[in-house]
Amino acid sequence: MKFDTKVVQSGMTPDPTTGAIVPPIYQTATYVLDEVGKDKGFDYTRSSNPTRQIMEEVLADLDGGKFGVAFASGMSAVDSVMKLLKAGDHVVCSDDVYGGVSRHFNQILVNYNLHFTYVDSSNPTNIENAIQANTKLIWVETPTNPLLKITDLEAVGNIAKKHNILFGVDSTFATPVFLRPLEFGADLVMHSTTKYLSGHNQLIGGIVITNREDLFNQLKFVQKTIGAVPGPFDCWLTLLGIKTLDLRMKKHDANAQIVAEYLEAHPKVSSVTYPGLPSHPSHKIAKKQMSGFSGMISFELTNGILAGETVMNSVKLAKLAESLGSVETMITHPATMTHADVPQEEREARGLTDGLVRLSVGIENADDIIADLEQALNQV
Ligand SMILES: Cc1ncc(COP(=O)(O)O)c(C=O)c1O
């Protein structure tokens, strides 16, 4: 089955009791047992829920995985992966990750005696060099948030296998439309379903996908024990969003390419980062492992931070907001918004400057997005 058919057809089993074509929202906390020790496969919604289960199966299917475990947010999905580790374990992590992930690792998990080394994962050798005797997990984002660095998943998958280390990929920016990390040797794929997968700025959610039954069982145990689960209505909304995922992503990708080329040619813009531009340092790797480059762009202005602020305050169609991956174009200032909790020295060391502007290109007409940016750039 082709991918664009799969996003529509996956999980489409008519409801067994009514034949409803859309899965019902099983808005229930618990389930009545037939007799002691005999249930119908569900006993309590923290452990499992039919609407959630359909969403978990569909999202696993789209990423080419056997198992999906859903969480209440992308962050609780990341946290649950970290719960596979034990005190004393070490993680090698991409140096450019979502600010909430850095905050979680550096301000919470370090207190539980977990250790982190951050490396520029766009060079696989950096990852291999950072491996220690107690390294249990390699965790990468690709493309990263917000600098859109690309990790060669096949190369890192081989390193993980050679050293017998778990390999997890936050694939939120790419989506399974453009990249399926399990095909390149990842053990775990994670998405913030808040973003492209649900796609309409309507909820917060997360998912972890794997082909390994042992990891699935451990994650299910974490899910039911800690209970950071999404509500049935949010799962239902995500399933609705998924139906148009392929269409939306192709439009995000096409628009972002046009907007990135426009920005790159603009005299007031000093640099543009988009994996679909030949000027991107990992364009070739991105092209090798992804079938599209998705909808995220970051750029800097020739006149620095004040010019960037003028653009972000002057856009009208694009909305100045945290988050990304929705149908509407959104603009973000990572230094004061999504990555505000990353200390300034660390941001600077990563190359995340105060002048950086992040654009989540929506699915409007590209001419209108460019007209909006043009009028904002004219204010500079
Ligand atoms: C790449 C990435 N991973 C994880 C998260 C966290 O997801 P959530 O906001 O759903 O908790 C985000 C949020 O922006 C993100 O951009």
3-class DSSP state of 81: helix
Ligand 1 atom index nearest CA of 173: 1
Which run of H or E residues covers position 91?
strand 90-94
Ligand 1 atom index nearest CA of 193: 10
Q: From the CA of 195, how far away is ligand 1's center (Å)?
A: 8
Ligand 1 atom index nearest CA of 76: 11
Q: From the CA of 338, how far away is ligand 1's center (Å)?
A: 9
Q: Is 195 a catalytic residue?
A: yes
Please tell me the distance from the alpha carbon of residue 330 to that of residue 40, in angstroms, as a whole number.
44
H helix runs in the chain, sequence order: 3-9, 50-62, 74-82, 99-107, 124-130, 153-163, 175-178, 213-226, 232-242, 245-264, 283-289, 304-314, 344-350, 366-378
Q: What is the pLDDT of residue 304?
A: 86
Query: What residue ranges of the chain are covered by domains with CATH 3.40.640.10?
Result: 3-242
Q: Is 66 a catalytic residue?
A: no
Q: What is the pLDDT of residue 40?
A: 95
Successive 10-residue mean pLDDT values, the chain, 380 residues: 96 93 97 96 97 98 98 98 98 96 97 98 98 98 97 98 98 98 98 98 98 98 98 98 98 99 97 98 98 98 91 97 97 93 88 93 98 97
Q: What is the dihedral of CA 117, 118, 119, 120, to 10 degrees?
A: 170
The one catalytic residue among 52, 136, 195, 347: 195
Q: pTM to 2 decimals?
A: 0.97
CA 188 centroid distance within chain: 13
Please tell me the distance from the alpha carbon of residue 360 to that of residue 274, in angstroms, as a whole number.
11
Nearest to 152 by CA among 111, 126, 121: 121
246-378 CATH, one of 1.10.10.60, 3.40.50.720, 3.90.1150.10, 3.30.450.20: 3.90.1150.10
Please tell me the distance from the alpha carbon of residue 313 to that of residue 316, in angstroms, as a whole number.
8
Sign of the four-CA dihedral 178, 63, 203, 205: negative
Q: What is the pLDDT of residue 302?
A: 92
Q: From the CA of 320, how far away is ligand 1's center (Å)?
A: 17
Nearest to 96 by CA among 138, 139, 146: 146
Ligand 1 atom index nearest CA of 144: 1
Q: What is the pLDDT of residue 34?
A: 93
Q: From the CA of 73, how far away is ligand 1's center (Å)?
A: 8
> What is each CA distance from 169 to 136, 175, 279, 304, 324, in whole angstroms?
14, 11, 24, 32, 18
Nearest to 287 by CA among 144, 145, 143, 189: 143
Q: Which residue has the tokens 């990750």?
A: 97
> What is each CA distance from 88 to 114, 127, 132, 135, 256, in whole angstroms?
5, 19, 12, 9, 42
The one catalytic residue among 31, 39, 44, 46: 46
What are 154-161's contacts with CB under 8 Å, separation 24+? 154/184, 154/185, 154/289, 155/124, 156/121, 156/124, 156/127, 156/185, 157/184, 157/185, 157/186, 158/185, 159/124, 159/127, 159/128, 159/131, 160/185, 160/187, 161/185
Q: From the CA of 105, how far away is ligand 1's center (Å)?
A: 14
Ligand 1 site residues, Cβ closer than 6 angstroms: 73-75, 98, 100-101, 141, 145, 170, 172, 192, 194, 204, 206
Q: From the CA of 298, how far away is ligand 1's center (Å)?
A: 17
HSE (side-chain half, CA atoms, 13 Å) at 364: 17
Mutate to test the pocket of ligand 1, among 192, 198, 204 (most ligand atoms within 8 A of CB): 192
Please tell me the distance from the alpha carbon of residue 380 to that of residue 370, in angstroms, as a whole number.
16
Q: Is 372 a catalytic residue?
A: no
3-class DSSP state of 362: coil
Q: Under CATH, which architecture does the 3-242 domain have?
A: 3-Layer(aba) Sandwich (3.40)
Q: Is 46 a catalytic residue?
A: yes
The angle, 0 to 180 degrees and rounded to 10, between the axes of the packed helices 213-226 and 74-82 is 120
Phi then psi dihedrals of residue 331, to 5 deg? -125, 140
- In terms of DSSP bridges, do strands 330-332 and 357-360 run parallel, antiparallel, or are they unpaired? antiparallel
Ligand 1 atom index nearest CA of 206: 10
Query: What residue ranges of the chain are covered by domains with CATH 3.90.1150.10?
Result: 246-378
CA 285 centroid distance within chain: 19
Structure tokens given for 330: 């959104």
The one catalytic residue among 98, 118, 196, 274: 98
Task: Say which amino acid occupies 39.
Answer: D
